Amino acid sequence: MSSTGLEVFDKTIQTTNSWLNEIGEDLGPDRQRCYNALRAVLFALRDRLTVDEAADLSAQLPMLIRGIFYEGYRPSIMPQRIRSLDEFLAKINEHLQNIRPLGADEAARAVFRVLENRIPAGELNEVKQMLPPEIRALFPGVQGAAEGAASHVQQPAQR
């Protein structure tokens, strides 16, 4: 039996829960924490992409996550000039302030792992190519700047 009465809504809720569970494999079972990580990382990534690339990426997201992706989006001021790993992690931290301590780099790695598993490689490669190497290195399996990103220490968000 359908919980919402519409199969399309039930499917996107189920898929979104699957994404949150996968993020929870890295961040733990706290679903609110996983949701906040997903939201914060998607916002930072979205704001770094061109409007066209953000639209291309969003087309690959489940409907409910696509709605999260576009929450508060202002395409007239995009893309933002986020050029360094520190700027990218600071952008993520803006949205992690009110949850129990969670490092922005930890959140980014968990969400990027899910994107790597769920988004077609061609589209994700286009997204990665728009990112500076040190941000790109947060994705699993990315070679090159991984040493710099791996050695970067980010303080967890404070309450």
**Separation CA 132–CA 142 (nearest Å):** 12
Max CA separation in the chain (angstroms): 50
User: Which residue did the predictor score with more confidence, 4 or 79?
Assistant: 79
Whether the pLDDT of residue 1 is over 90: the answer is no
Tell me: cis bond preceding 79? Omega within 30 of 0 counts: yes
**Separation CA 42–CA 121 (nearest Å):** 17
**Separation CA 58–CA 146 (nearest Å):** 26
**Tokens (6 digits) for 151:** 């050695």
The per-residue b/e assignment along 26-63, b for 16 or more CB within 10 angstroms, e otherwise, is: ebeeeeebbbbbbbbbbbbbbbbbeeebbeebbebbbe
User: Which residue did the predictor score with more confidence, 118 or 157?
Assistant: 118
- CB of 11 within 8 A of CB of 78? no
Per-residue pLDDT of 37-94, as tens digits, reads 999 999 999 999 999 999 999 999 999 999 999 999 999 999 999 999 999 999 999 9
- CB of 27 within 8 A of CB of 36? no
**Tokens (6 digits) for 1:** 């039996």
- Compute CA 41 distance to the chain's CA centroid, rounded to the nearest angstrom: 3
Which domains, ranges and CATH numbers included, belong to the chain?
Answer: 7-139 (1.10.490.110)
Confidence of residue 14 (pLDDT cuts 50, 70, 90): very high
**Separation CA 101–CA 18 (nearest Å):** 23
Per-residue pLDDT of 114-143, as tens digits, reads 999 999 999 999 999 999 999 999 999 876
